[in-house]
Amino acid sequence: MFDLTDVKFVKRIVVGSDHPNQMKTDEQVNQANDLLNRCLTDSPRGTILGIEKSFTLLQVGEHQVVLQWLCYHVGFPRKPAWLQDA
């Protein structure tokens, strides 16, 4: 079982476009997925603490567009050495 008192570092990973003026490319979404997978498999292994789910309806001309994203909060017992940006 996972104990929250063991968490000393939390990494926030957004998968999807969270800002309508800065749409993420497929490559950026895939990079976020790869980072999430690495956080859950490499040492030290992270654990998902929570997930934010959000969507926004946008009107673009005559079309209605749905903007969706997920934000994963991954907890670690210590900051991974391979994680440079945090």
By C-alpha distance, which of 39, 35, 36 is closest to 77? 39
Q: What is the spatial distance between Cα 43 and Cα 85, in angstroms, rounded to a whole number?
A: 17
pLDDT in tens, the chain (86 residues): 578 888 999 999 999 887 777 888 999 999 999 999 999 999 899 999 999 999 888 888 898 888 889 999 999 999 999 987 64
Is domain 4-76 in CATH 2.60.40, yes or no? no
pTM of the model: 0.84
From the centroid of its chain, how far is CA 2?
20
The residues spanned by each domain of the chain are 4-76
Residue 61 is predicted with a pLDDT of: 86
Residue 76 is predicted with a pLDDT of: 94
